[in-house]
Structure 1
Amino acid sequence: MGLLRELFLLPLAPVRGAGWVLSQVAAEADRRFSDPAVVQRELALLEEELLCGLIDETEFARREDELLDRLDPTDDWLTR
């Protein structure tokens, strides 16, 4: 019965394969987005922008909050 099912679903194989690839890409993007090392580098760059006068303290605080939210595993950023 499994063979008949696979033969019946064979025309959908490219769609199923594309769905799998998209889910893998989304998972990797999520891992990179919330990687602590990446967020720490971005925080350091943000602080450098503040010290050089490229941004003001309000902008710094807003962007810092966004970066720190990425580190919080209980915060589901996808629901925003």
Structure 2
Amino acid sequence: MGLLIEILALPLAPLRGVGWVLDKVVQAAEQEYYDPSPVQEALAGLERAREAGDIDEEEFAHREEQLLERLEEIRAYQLRRAGPGGL
């Protein structure tokens, strides 16, 4: 019976392959989007720009707030992905 099902499902193999590829693309995109490293680097660069006098305190505070919110979003995503046990 298993062989018969495999033969009947054979025309759907390309669709399953496309679905698998799309799943991998989505996983890679999520991994890149929710990577905290670029945000942390941006925070460090922002601090350097403030110390160098390239930006004023108001601009620094605004951009820092945005980056910290992004880090919170990333952390919340990581906690959701980890499940009830947490990280």
- After TM superposition, the score normalised by the length of structure 1 is 0.66
Cα pair distance change 1:58/1:39, threshold 3 Å: closer
Unaligned 5+ residue runs, structure 1? Answer: none
1:4 aligns with: 4
Counterpart mapping for 1:1-80 below 5 A: 1-45=1-45, 47-48=46-47, 51=50, 52-53=54-55, 56=59, 57-72=61-76, 73-74=78-79
Deviation at 1:75, TM superposition (A): 5.4
Distance across 2 between alignment mates of 1:62 and 1:38: 13
Cα pair distance change 1:2/1:49, threshold 3 Å: farther
What percentage of aligned pairs have identical amino acids? 35
Distance across 1 between alignment mates of 2:49 and 2:80: 26
Cα pair distance change 1:59/1:21, threshold 3 Å: same
- Decide which structure has the larger Cα Rg and report it: 2
- After TM superposition, the score normalised by the length of structure 2 is 0.62
- Matched-pair contact (CA < 8 Å) for 1:39–1:70: no
Deviations 1:19-67 (A, max 9, x none): 011111111222222223333223334x258622288223431333123
**Count of aligned residue pairs for this structure pair:** 75
Q: Secondary structure at the match of 1:74?
A: helix
Distance across 2 between alignment mates of 1:40 and 1:71: 12
